[in-house]
Structure 1
Amino acid sequence: MKKVLFPLVLILMLVISACSNNSSEKKDSAKKEEPKTFTYESETGPVEVPSNPKRVILLSGFTGNVLSLGVNVVGVDVWSKNNPTFTEEMKDIAEVSDENLEKIIELNPDLIIGLSNIKNLDKLKEIAPTVTYTWGKLDYLSQHVEIGKLLNKEKEAQAWVDDFKARSEKAGEEIRAKIGEDATVTVFEAYDKQLYVFGNNWARGTEILYQAMNLKMPEKVKEMALKDGYYAVSAEVLPEYAGDYVIISKYAGADIAFQKTNTYKNIPAVKNNHVYEMEGNGASFSDPVTLDKQLEFFKKSFLGE
């Protein structure tokens, strides 16, 4: 009986081994057969793009979106290159523009991303697959998911969005509990010799404050800045726009003489030490890297965390 069982066991082991090998071969084959490209449905039509882009050029921001998804970047616009938020990441990345085609060719990109108003679009398409987006067509979170689709990383992009929404909504609840449900917040910016006030979707943390955190905007800001996203103001009328709390996005070299005037000093938010300043350079971005940084800034400013 033992003599009969032994060959049967041996045969079964050989069959299992063969099936296992066959399964491994199929997996390896599937990996090898993974498509190198796929068709991305852009706002201007279908574009054949790499499934795993390795040399991306960004001509109009979106830098933090791509970096946060772990995709290699070889060239960026001047604003991204000089953005202090990305100082470490930009060390070995070239500065490019839509007018310097030779530099772009030299970098040998496999994907180019920009806004719909970039120059030389037809020539760029000849260099590499080029996808453009219209500024403001998508909200800031949907834009990240859309870039995730383009980079074949939609799941990762959506996971960040879900996590960010949860974190920012929680922070908003804590802030409103501290400052009051009716407290208002204004976002100003000092750039060069000009002052601006912003609506709820013009970066500088406005999406976080007004959309995610559900903080309130002064009526005058709603009236003048909500529709277009921003509005230029003079130093003399700042009190009309200032909320109970004020965020100032301040660029290096900006004219800040307004902060020395009695008009500014007598604003209640200023008197109550409810003014929080952040660096202007880089604040105009609304990507995951920037948004995470701004969220921490607001939590620390309002809650002392």
Structure 2
Amino acid sequence: MKRFIIPFIFMCVLFLSACGNSAKNQTVENASKEDESKTITYQSENGPIEVPAHPKRVVVLNGNAGDLISFGVNIVGVDEWAKASPLFKEQLEDVTTVSDEDLETIIELEPDLIIGDSDNNNLDRLKKIAPTVTYTYNKVDYLTQHLEIGKLVNKEKEAQDWIDDFKSRATTVGNKIKAKVGENSTVTVMESYDKDIGILGNSWGRGTEVLYQAMDLKMPDKVKEMTSKEGYYMISSEVLPDYVGNYLVVSKYNDQDNSYQKTELYKEMPAVKNDHVIEVDGNAFMFNDSLTLDYQLKYFEEQFLK
């Protein structure tokens, strides 16, 4: 009889262990489902809005795709501008391209959160699809904007940690650059649009936040004056020399008319003659999200200090 006792006890132990593991797994699964169903109240610029505590399917219709990628948030729909950035190519390769007009496609994507600009079309209809949070461009500075995105997706600590680190790194790089080019050297950032040229202020993407705010480099007085209202100022190529400082950053697109760079007027500018022109990929430099800012900072460090 004794020979049957040990096997019986062993079977009981296995049975109780299996029951315990099953109950534990069920508890974990229930907790996971409960966690996914949780919401938080985000204080948006338009008032409080209830959003998922951990969004799983986000549609991004503004310039914050890079911030979402850095936080590890799953993006299911994104606008064509973000899709064109080579910095996001791998992460957005299989993500659907949408606009604020593609309502049916957005519905099919089943988003649990939509992030857009305050001037997007169809906002009332988008809000019926999923909680929709919008931002007004340049209403807050670029670092505060990153923090706000962090708050929205429940990643505030990660956002603040990156901000602190970026400010420290940018100050160090800025000091090195100013030590080389001179404290009073000026930098102009421009971008061509068909036959016109845009001179950019201190918060218009294309590296302007890094140059003028994070690294504290100077812009020419005329650029500062003319961009103070709109953030940019459109000029003709004929007057470009009036706005170019000691250094010139040119944001370029392959499909734009860059013939002005072949003119004698352009070639005779001191910044060009002194080889102080830094050309950047307009698609890579367009935004001011955390991933793009990191790339811009490294690129400027290499170019100014080479």
TM-score under structure 1 length normalisation: 0.88
CA distance in 2, matches of 1:122, 1:254: 35
Secondary structure of 2:92 counterpart? coil
Partner of 1:72: 74
Letter in 1 for 2:97: E
Partner of 2:181: 179
Partner of 1:98: 100
Partner of 1:121: 123
Structure 1 residue 74: deviation in Å? 0.4
Partner of 1:254: 256
Secondary structure of 1:114 counterpart? strand
| Cα 1:173/1:52, change in 2 over 3 Å | same
Residue 214 of structure 1, aligned match among 213, 216, 234: 216
CA distance in 2, matches of 1:128, 1:253: 36
Cα RMSD of the aligned pairs, angstroms, is 1.9
Structure 1 residue 131: deviation in Å? 0.6
Secondary structure of 2:43 counterpart? strand
Aligned residues: 280
- Structure 2: segments with no counterpart, 5+ residues: 1-23
Secondary structure of 1:231 counterpart? strand
Letter in 2 for 1:47: I
Partner of 2:301: 299
Cα deviations across residues 219-262 of structure 1 (Å, max 9, x unaligned)? Answer: 11112123321111111111111111110001112212211111
Letter in 2 for 1:301: Q
CA distance in 1, matches of 2:223, 2:205: 15
Partner of 1:62: 64
Partner of 2:144: 142
Letter in 1 for 2:127: K
Structure 1 residue 282: deviation in Å? 3.5
Task: Percent identity, please.
Answer: 58
Q: Summarize the alignment of residues 127-206 of structure 1 with structure 2, pairs less than 5 Å apart.
A: 127-206=129-208
Cα deviations across residues 137-167 of structure 1 (Å, max 9, x unaligned)? Answer: 1110100000100000000011111111111
Letter in 2 for 1:248: V
TM-score under structure 2 length normalisation: 0.87
Structure 1 residue 193: deviation in Å? 2.6
Cα deviations across residues 181-228 of structure 1 (Å, max 9, x unaligned)? Answer: 011111111233321111111111111111111111111111212332
Secondary structure of 1:64 counterpart? helix
Secondary structure of 1:92 counterpart? coil
CA distance in 2, matches of 1:223, 1:66: 34
CA distance in 2, matches of 1:113, 1:138: 16
Secondary structure of 1:88 counterpart? helix
- Structure 1 window deviating more from structure 2 (172-181 vs 187-196): it is 187-196
Contact 1:247/1:276 (8 A) holds in 2: yes
- Structure 1 window deviating more from structure 2 (83-92 vs 71-80): it is 83-92
CA distance in 1, matches of 2:265, 2:221: 20
Secondary structure of 2:283 counterpart? coil
CA distance in 1, matches of 2:58, 2:132: 10
Letter in 2 for 1:131: V
Structure 1 residue 28: deviation in Å? 6.8
Residue 50 of structure 1, aligned match among 52, 56, 60: 52
Cα deviations across residues 100-143 of structure 1 (Å, max 9, x unaligned)? Answer: 11101111101000011111112111111111111111110100
Contact 2:192/2:252 (8 A) holds in 1: yes
Secondary structure of 2:202 counterpart? coil
Contact 1:192/1:251 (8 A) holds in 2: no
CA distance in 2, matches of 1:234, 1:29: 63
Letter in 2 for 1:129: P
Residue 232 of structure 1, aligned match among 210, 231, 234: 234
